[in-house]
Amino acid sequence: MTDHCFVAGSPISHSRSPMIHGFWMAEQGLDARYDRIETTPDQLGGLLARVRSGELRGGNLTVPLKEAVIPHLDDLTPEAAVMGAVNTIWMKDGRLTGANTDVDGFFEHLGQQLPDRSCTGRDVLVLGAGGAARAIIHGLMRRGAASVTIANRSAARTDALVSSLAASHRGTSTRLKRATWPVAADQIAVHAMVVNTTSLGMKGQPPLPIDWPARVDGQVFYDIVYAPLVTPFLAEARARGGLVVDGLGMLLHQAALAFGHWFGTVPRVGSELRALVEADLVAPAPADRP
């Protein structure tokens, strides 16, 4: 019987997940398939029933389902519980289980690209205060960052995120701070790493409003956006001497961890797969992906 996995959300036609997981399924010789399933929150119950029945082996969830799915699940991994968001589901010991692989995907790629740049003891600036920011800041706190400063358009949302993270990480040594928006040059200059978790710089979106210092030599700039692969944020950082990390690696590494939950083996994120996805990112977009 063919194992059927999926990515669900709305809209979903843009997702590269079928290409990524299809590559690993073929590489490992699995009798399996991976499809996009357009799903809104009011359709979520029907999708989950198919997972519980075994019709679907497991899947990924994206906007707007990452938070909406939680009340329907039997178990959450500790990471997903702290983040309040799930991107991977599967049946484990007869229980519908949810995980969030985004954090570990983020740090797996960072470690691969810059193995000598641990976050431990470093000051990090995070741009944005949404779900992706929460996940990455959780990971930074877990790994012993000296401080995390949050800059976001909405001060109220920043305050809410700081309060929530402080409550869920009691006893941590990481200091949580706030920065003004737009981001000033002096804020960029004093942080070892700057992470963009917003959609600004994505295709169709305006660039980040940043007052850049003249040089950022040796500082790390990580953008979780992967379309375009080199965002204006990364291009500016590189031109000023920064070390840049693009969002495609995070996408691939979080996908590999999800694959491991379904099939028991975490596949290798290699250059062949990355080249395949890069080529697709620069190809003319079809009117609608099948």
Q: What is the CATH number of the domain that holds 186?
A: 3.40.50.720
For residue 42, the enclosing domain spans: 3-100+249-282
290 belongs to a structural domain: no
The number of domains in the chain is 2
Q: Is this prediction's pTM over 0.85?
A: yes
Question: Average pLDDT of the chain?
Answer: 94
Does residue 138 share a domain with residue 43?
A: no
Q: Say how far apart CA 2 and CA 29 lie, in whole Å.
A: 12
How far is the C-alpha of 71 from the C-alpha of 94, rounded, in Å?
17
Confidence check: pLDDT of 290 > 70: no
What percent of the chain shows pLDDT beyond 90? 87
The CA radius of gyration of the chain, in Å to the nearest whole number, is 19
Q: Report pLDDT digits (tens) over 252-269.
A: 999 999 999 999 999 999
- Distance from C-alpha of 150 to C-alpha of 268, rounded to nearest angstrom: 33
Q: Residues 62, 8: one domain?
A: yes
Q: Domain check: are 108 and 238 in the same one? A: yes
Closest Cα partner for 84 from 104, 100, 107? 100
pLDDT at residue 289 is higher than 80: no
Instruction: Using alpha carbons only, give the angle 215, 197, 185 rounded to the nearest 5 degrees.
Output: 25
* Residue 286: pLDDT over 70: no
In a domain, 287, yes or no: no
Q: How far apart are CA 177 and CA 148, in angstroms?
A: 6
The Cα–Cα gap between 141 and 169 comes to 8
Query: Do residues 112 and 236 share a domain?
Result: yes
Angle between helices 248-263 and 102-113 (to 10 degrees): 120
Question: In the chain, how many H helices and how many E strands?
Answer: 10, 12
pLDDT of residue 116: 87
Kindly report which listed range (56-65, 189-198, 275-284) carries the lowest average pLDDT score: 275-284
Q: 112 and 163 share a domain?
A: yes
User: Crossing angle, helix 248-263 and helix 17-27, to 10 degrees?
Assistant: 50
In a shared domain, residues 215 and 270:
no
* CA torsion through residues 142, 130, 254, 257, sign: positive
Q: What is the dihedral of CA 276, 278, 279, 284, to 10 degrees?
A: 130
pLDDT-derived band at 287, boundaries 50, 70, 90: very low
Q: Report d(CA 168, CA 49) in Å as an integer.
A: 31
In a domain, 272, yes or no: yes
Are 111 and 237 within one domain?
yes
Contact of 248 with 274, CB cutoff 8 Å: yes
User: Has residue 195 been placed in a domain?
Assistant: yes
Does some domain include residue 212? yes
In 10 A of CB 113, how many CB atoms? 15
Phi-psi region of 58 (alpha: psi -120 to 50; beta: other; left: phi over 0): left
Q: Is residue 289 part of a domain?
A: no
As a whole number of angstroms, the distance between CA 37 and CA 8 comes to 5
Residues 54 and 165 in one domain: no
The strand order across the sheet containing 32-38 reads 32-38, 3-9, 58-61, 88-92, 95-99, 75-76
- Pick the residue with more confidence: 289 or 239? 239
- Calculate mean pLDDT across residues 108-133: 93
Residues 195 and 213 in one domain: yes
Query: Per-residue confidence at 130, pLDDT binned at 50, 70, 90?
Result: confident
288 pLDDT higher than 70: no
Which of 66, 92, 177, 203 is the catalytic position? 66
Q: Say whether 66 is catalytic.
A: yes
- What pLDDT does residue 285 have? 54
Which pLDDT does position 14 carry in this prediction? 86
146 and 269, same domain (yes or no):
no
Residue 128 lies in a domain: yes
End-to-end Cα separation, the chain, in angstroms: 23
Q: Which of 13-27, 47-61, 160-174, 233-247 has the lowest mean pLDDT?
A: 160-174
Q: Is residue 288 part of a domain?
A: no
Residues 76, 117 share a domain? no
Looking at the chain, the whole-number percentage of residues with pLDDT higher than 70 is 98
* Residue 272 and residue 221 share a domain: no
The CATH number of residue 58's host domain is 3.40.50.10860
